[in-house]
Structure 1
Amino acid sequence: MASDDLETPLGVTETRKRRSIPIGLPVTVLLALCLLGFLGWAAFVKDPLGGEPMAVVALPDGTAKPDAAAKPDEAAKQSEAGAPEKNAAGEAHGEGAGAGDGHTVTIIDGSTGKRQDVRIPSDGSPAGLAQPAGENADHAAAGTPAHGEKPAPAKAGESPSNLLEASRHGMLPRIGLDGARPSVAYAEPTPAGTGAKIAIVVAGLGVSPTTTAAALKELPPAVTLAFLPYGDDLARLVGQARAEKHEVLLQVPMEPFDYPDDDPGPQTLLTSLAGDQNVDRMQWAMGRFQGYVGIMNFMGGRFTSTETAVAPMLREVAKRGLLYVDDGASPRSLAGQIAGANNLPFAKGTVVLDEVPSNAEMDRAFERLETTARESGSAVGIARALPLSIERIAAWAQAAEGRGFVVVPITAVAVKAKPT
């Protein structure tokens, strides 16, 4: 008997052991191969944007010339039609997109990763306007006449092209290359007379067609009309106002003390926003129509009393050759001081004529206005676009000359405020 048989317990048969391959070994080898393949691809293939989504956009031929130049008024209408939608908080949706004059596309070079922003206007030209060739191209781009020619005077209701510049919000006012300012170019002559000057501003126009039509029909030309940026037919209404020799102001919505319970409307300038954000919002309002001599606050008690908020806004107004009118409702407003520091023409409301809209209270308000004008040589009355206010102002203005006063447009009393 073999020794193995002696050592094997009775009744137990020997089983053959199976050889097994470790499972972890092939998995490790596979992962190593994948890693080596990825490292090799990254080292030898130049594709820094691998996996990043890209869009292929067909761009128009930049050498093609459009048949006709787009007019500033048409660009303004396009900007109104393409104004961004707002939510309940007044934020604009799609603020990065152009308003009515095209859009911006970011092109990514797949080999180098270089990004380039390209403006694609609605008509295919670089700025939505026809670009003339030759030596007059620079003058046309700047909106100024070539060969030293003098710019043609603006017709009633029209805006000189050299005082406008295209933006994503539409056509905005600017100082011309010849130094011409919108506050001067759009101003109306001061009526003759030696009496104390009184300027009347009727604010809040453009929203109600009925009230706006009544103001245009009943108020004398010397009364200044201030339009909100929210109307549906602003370009036509402002054009009609200017054709009837009214000076025009643009009212910009600004944050009151009780905001948001009292909300001026979309695109309101807020103390919580950065200066460039508020400037962008004001430019949205500026692009709604053209031909205004200046900016006037709509509400804004908190905004105009916060220096860090109001200063960038007023610098932008000064840079564009406009004047600024403070309605005088907030005694804490810093607008006058900051306007002086920026050499900005400035006027401030002396009396709110319809703070209490009744015949008796408005009579007393007119008396205070006349007293201030006699003592100071000039005064500014502010009123809302109410039927009673329009009726009373029209009647008062008709009799003002007989009492020794001259009703003048707002530019006649606006002065370059001195720093205090």
Structure 2
Amino acid sequence: MTGKNSSATRGRRPPAIPEPARWLAVLLVAVALPTRAAVTLPGQCPLRDHIPPAAARYTLVIIIDDLGHQLANGRAAVDLPGRVNYAILPYTPYGKRLARQAYREGKEVLLHAPMSNLGLKPLGRGALTPDLSRAEFDATLAAALEQVPHARGVNNHMGSDLTRRRTQMEWLMQQLARRGLYFVDSRTEAGTVAATVASEQRVPNLSRQVFLDNERSPAAIAERFGHLQRLAREEGLAVAIGHPYPETLAFLHEALPKLVRQGYRLATVSEVLERRAPAPAAIAEGTQYAQ
């Protein structure tokens, strides 16, 4: 009986599955399949940060300064979405930990090198000052770089005095050139010669154009961020420095994910310099923040 039934039904076509049932089956199979986890390699950012080249007309470089003293604010800063840069002070309790976290998350790390200021404010350990001999200067810089793992470059912490001094800037840039590092002039002093000397010594460099949080109110930060965007629209590239203040971090957590739709892309300093983009014209506004 079994063989007869099999023979009788061998030539028949299976009954058609109704169209709605067929689509339901496809959907159920798709839901059941395992999804592939997004992989982030060192030096890359998650897919959420990817901006199609055609959609990004303007480039923003954002550097968060003064990291290392506080862990909670430092972690919140490193968690900002997108390709943000982090300038870390040497010899701070959490500097190395935050530098390694930023590197793991595909962000960029700089040494935030303390430099002498006109206000004679305390600088802490690792400061570069005009009373150092050349040998002491080089040793101080080398030791500070050892304190910040994965640093791709240097920017100045304070420095309204030292960045005006051509001799010390030549010493600094010669060391950076030898190590293959770049320099970002924070422009805490309108009379700075740092970027000029960097170019003379063939050190890739950028200059800060906007301080985001001289005034820490949300309205003031929003105004400065808008100014940054306007500069980027005018020049194609704009460079800003902010700090790990709760107000700044809250604003950036909200604002950065919206940049894609507005035609902006976030970039690391090294990305911009590797493309041989010209450094934007330095603007001497905001120098009252850091001395």
Which of the five TM-score ranges fits, normalised by the shorter chain?
0.7 to 0.9
Deviation at 1:304, TM superposition (A): 0.4
Instruction: Give the 5 Å matches for 1:19-418.
Output: 156=42, 191-193=51-53, 194-217=56-79, 219-259=80-120, 262-414=121-273, 415=276
Contact map agreement 1:223 1:409 (CA 8 A) in 2 = yes
Structure 1 letter corresponding to 2:69? V
Contact map agreement 1:317 1:323 (CA 8 A) in 2 = yes
Give the secondary-structure state (helix, strand or coil) at the position aligned to 2:142: helix
Q: Deviations over 1:105-143 (max 9, x none)?
A: xxxxxxxxxxxxxxxxxxxxxxxxxxxxxxxxxxxxxxx
Structure 1 letter corresponding to 2:209? T
Deviation at 1:391, TM superposition (A): 1.2
Structure 1 letter corresponding to 2:72? T
CA pair 407-372 structure 1, distance change in 2 beyond 3 A: same
Alpha-carbon separation, structure 2, partners of 1:250 and 1:400: 27
Alpha-carbon separation, structure 2, partners of 1:273 and 1:402: 49
Tell me the equivalent position of 1:51.
none
CA pair 191-243 structure 1, distance change in 2 beyond 3 A: farther
Contact map agreement 1:253 1:267 (CA 8 A) in 2 = yes
Give the secondary-structure state (helix, strand or coil) at the position aligned to 2:113: strand
Give the secondary-structure state (helix, strand or coil) at the position aligned to 1:301: coil
Alpha-carbon separation, structure 2, partners of 1:417 and 1:338: 16
Alpha-carbon separation, structure 2, partners of 1:417 and 1:335: 16
Deviation at 1:237, TM superposition (A): 2.3
Deviation at 1:335, TM superposition (A): 1.0
Alpha-carbon separation, structure 1, partners of 2:189 and 2:201: 21
Q: Which has the larger radius of gyration?
A: 1
Alpha-carbon separation, structure 2, partners of 1:253 and 1:359: 28
Q: Deviations over 1:235-294 (max 9, x none)?
A: 3322211111111111111001122xx112122111122233212111111111321110
Give the secondary-structure state (helix, strand or coil) at the position aligned to 1:413: helix
Alpha-carbon separation, structure 1, partners of 2:226 and 2:278: 26
Contact map agreement 1:255 1:301 (CA 8 A) in 2 = yes
CA pair 191-299 structure 1, distance change in 2 beyond 3 A: farther
User: Share of identical aligned residues, percent?
Assistant: 25
Alpha-carbon separation, structure 1, partners of 2:144 and 2:44: 20
Deviation at 1:385, TM superposition (A): 1.4
Structure 1 letter corresponding to 2:214? E
Alpha-carbon separation, structure 1, partners of 2:262 and 2:249: 20
Structure 1 letter corresponding to 2:96? A
Flag the structure with higher helix content: 2
CA pair 334-306 structure 1, distance change in 2 beyond 3 A: same
Contact map agreement 2:218 2:248 (CA 8 A) in 1 = no
Alpha-carbon separation, structure 2, partners of 1:308 and 1:253: 17
TM-score (norm 1): 0.52
TM-score (norm 2): 0.74
Deviation at 1:405, TM superposition (A): 1.0
Structure 2 unmatched ranges of 5 or more: 1-40, 280-291
